[in-house]
Structure 1
């Protein structure tokens, strides 16, 4: 093999190696942000929770084919989080247990992930956490200023009910 071919092969291998390591770094960063979603919500850190989202982000919750809830915009997500933490969830500890993270798509600036979720609540009267919900989160991610943010978060709630 001549020197030109060896140089070309070495260059291509370097590009593949860089691309592969960038992909791993992006997956790790997104995984970290997903963990932050749980911690920030469950510790009732409303503002920090809202900071996980882009300015024009969307939160949706679906039960079967029925849209249960839709919130548009980071400021509205913040208001929703504050209201939830100060009223609906004031007397309970929530926990978002995430598992089974898969990357449906991944590029340098965008990604779509899915993961399973089990959501528990526990009040002072409960001896143990109670499962309140389960489902699949589908999250669209955008990379902004070297940081991954959620642009759309959809929760598909598990349901055996016929919602048609």
Structure 2
């Protein structure tokens, strides 16, 4: 294509120089036709180059738009992942808080149960004295088996420890 353009442009130059040298009326029909062909070829070449430039520009714009779209998609995915991670962390924190509250509640309940058990185990001094008196009265009685005496003495020792 370039060779054709070079040949045509040189023909144009030759015909132009002939034109300048003489009258246009002296130009032959063949020379005028050649000149028109050269002009048409040059115009066609310019149009093709402009079309190629426009095509390249459109292609570059399309690539840029595609890259921007991909970047936007990646950014949206990253934001989504970040939101999901934050939600998971928040959920874990809430679960840990619930577990901590459950443990605290269980500890309170255990402490209350332990305190109640201790209260139940403790006897008032008055109750201890009454039971000691009852045991002593029973020991003073006759017809007790040795085993019953041992049980009563053991219980008496426990009560005396509680009394201290």
Q: Normalization by structure 1: what TM-score?
A: 0.30
Q: Which has the larger radius of gyration?
A: 2
Judging by fraction of residues, say which structure has more helix: 2
Choose between structure 1 and 2 for higher RCO, CA contacts under 8 A separated by at least 6 residues.
Answer: 1
